[in-house]
């Protein structure tokens, strides 16, 4: 029997809370029962009751003295290495930033101007409580059933975070240009570029995962886009063949995802310090190769959904100080934290190739 639509939100909230707060409550229960060893069945029941009480019965204040005083929630929720990195980056703001990383995330959709308008989309989605925000976006306060709507099937909108959209807009893709999306994934920003280009020009979307490119092709059809060519990056030769051919290059590099933990709390469980070091090396390699795809005078935008400077400003500084980076200038860079304008945490840098 399918789950009633009215329960979708409750189930989603429980799953997200379990992932985001599970470490904290498990540690608290262990401290409370330090002299007793509760069975796994009892511990699971305690977690369930506390989750429900905190979210639905509004007794969080009553629990503060019992649980929050037992163990620092941020110490329990985040891996130690990540807490330390955030502390080094933000100093006295560390706890504020960690709390933002676990805050509720609004649902945003980007109106596809190739298929619809902001007003038409808002009217079509009136049952989902849409609220216009900047950048041709709607915040959806009642998202349940959103993707079963006729408007979605007709390609009128794509779900996309507001800061993610602004990161893509930094490339300033224009009609008739040749754009390369070097880490395209399933194509959220690729489709944004196509809309900005009024479906005129050429976009080459590159990724290492075939299933993501297949999803991009499906989304392109729904969105009414026919200027995207997908290429599977089976080796570095795929990117090298594109050197010095693009008006604009977007490098949406793999990262820790610390800016989107609130949407993907499982990140807290599978990111490691060893993996962090590997990501840093990969990011710099992608930046060095991807930047060469731009023509002289072309634009390069490097973006990560991370709030750690090691993945953002430090990478750009390293690149510009290197021999491959000598032919580029930094036009601007910016960082957002989770919750800024309701959006996710991002770092974005805009470079121009001058030689």
pLDDT digits over 210-224, tens only? Answer: 999 999 999 999 999
Domain residue limits at 42: 5-77
**Residue 175 shares a structural domain with residue 313:** yes
144 found inside a domain = no
312 found inside a domain = yes
**Residue 67 shares a structural domain with residue 179:** no
Residue 20: the pLDDT is 58
Banded pLDDT at 107 (limits 50, 70, 90): very high
**Residue 63 shares a structural domain with residue 168:** no
Task: Report the side by side order of strands in the sheet with 107-111.
Answer: 130-133, 137-140, 107-111, 157-159
- Answer yes or no: are the C-beta atoms of 310 and 176 closer than 8 Å: no
188 found inside a domain = yes
Token reading at 95:
């706890």
**Residue 66 shares a structural domain with residue 168:** no
Residue 264: the pLDDT is 96
Q: Which of 28, 60, 77 is the last residue of a domain?
A: 77
Per residue in 159-200, pLDDT tens? 999 999 999 999 999 999 999 999 999 999 999 999 999 999
Q: Which of 44, 77, 110 is the last residue of a domain?
A: 77
**Residue 201 shares a structural domain with residue 62:** no
CATH number at residue 195: 3.40.50.150
Strands 294-304, 246-252: pairing kind:
parallel
**Residue 59 shares a structural domain with residue 176:** no
Task: Tell me how many domains the chain contains.
Answer: 2
Does residue 316 have a pLDDT over 80?
yes
Token reading at 212:
């993501």
Which secondary structure element, helix H or strand E, spans residue 202, and what is its range? strand 202-207
Q: Which of 77, 108, 133 is the last residue of a domain?
A: 77
**Residue 196 shares a structural domain with residue 322:** yes
**Residue 178 shares a structural domain with residue 323:** yes
Does residue 209 have a pLDDT over 90?
yes
Banded pLDDT at 76 (limits 50, 70, 90): confident
Distance, in Å, from the CA atom of 302 to the CA atom of 310, rounded to the nearest integer, reads: 13
128 found inside a domain = no
117 found inside a domain = no
Cα dihedral 167/101/187/248 (nearest 10): 20
Per residue in 2-34, pLDDT tens? 555 545 555 555 555 555 555 555 555 555 555
Residue 4: the pLDDT is 56
């Amino acid at each position: 029997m399918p789950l009633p639509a009215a329960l979708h939100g409750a189930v989603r909230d429980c799953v997200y809370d379990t992932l985001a707060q599970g470490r904290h409550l498990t540690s608290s229960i262990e401290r409370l029962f330090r002299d007793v060893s509760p069975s796994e069945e009892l511990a699971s029941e305690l977690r369930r009751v506390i989750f429900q009480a905190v979210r639905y019965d509004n007794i969080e204040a009553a629990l503060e003295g019992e649980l929050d005083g037992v163990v620092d929630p941020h110490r329990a929720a985040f891996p130690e290495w990540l807490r330390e990195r955030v502390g080094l980056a933000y100093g006295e703001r560390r706890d504020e930033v960690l709390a933002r990383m676990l805050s509720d995330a609004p649902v945003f959709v980007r109106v596809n101007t190739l298929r619809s308008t902001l007003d038409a989309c808002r009217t079509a989605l009136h049952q989902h409580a849409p609220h216009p925000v900047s950048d041709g976006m709607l915040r959806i306060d009642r998202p349940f059933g959103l993707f079963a709507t006729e408007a979605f099937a007709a390609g009128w909108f794509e779900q996309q975070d507001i800061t993610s959209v602004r990161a893509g807009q930094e490339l300033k893709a224009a009609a008739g240009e040749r754009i390369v999306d070097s880490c395209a994934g399933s194509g959220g920003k690729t489709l944004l570029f196509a809309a900005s280009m009024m479906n005129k020009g050429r976009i080459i979307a590159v990724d290492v995962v075939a299933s993501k490119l297949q999803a991009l092709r499906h989304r392109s059809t729904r969105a009414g886009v026919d200027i995207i060519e997908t290429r599977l990056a089976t080796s570095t030769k795929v990117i090298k063949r594109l050197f010095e051919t693009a008006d604009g290059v977007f490098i949406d590099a793999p990262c820790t995802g610390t800016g989107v933990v609130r949407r993907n709390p499982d990140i807290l469980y599978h990111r490691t310090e060893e993996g962090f070091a590997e990501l840093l090396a990969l990011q710099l390699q992608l930046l060095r190769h991807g930047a060469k795809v731009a023509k002289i005078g072309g634009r390069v935008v490097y973006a990560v959904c991370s709030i750690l400077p090691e993945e953002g400003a430090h990478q750009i500084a390293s690149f510009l100080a290197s021999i491959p980076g000598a032919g580029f200038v930094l036009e601007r860079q910016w960082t957002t934290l989770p919750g800024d304008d309701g959006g996710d945490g991002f770092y974005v840098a805009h470079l121009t190739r001058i030689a």
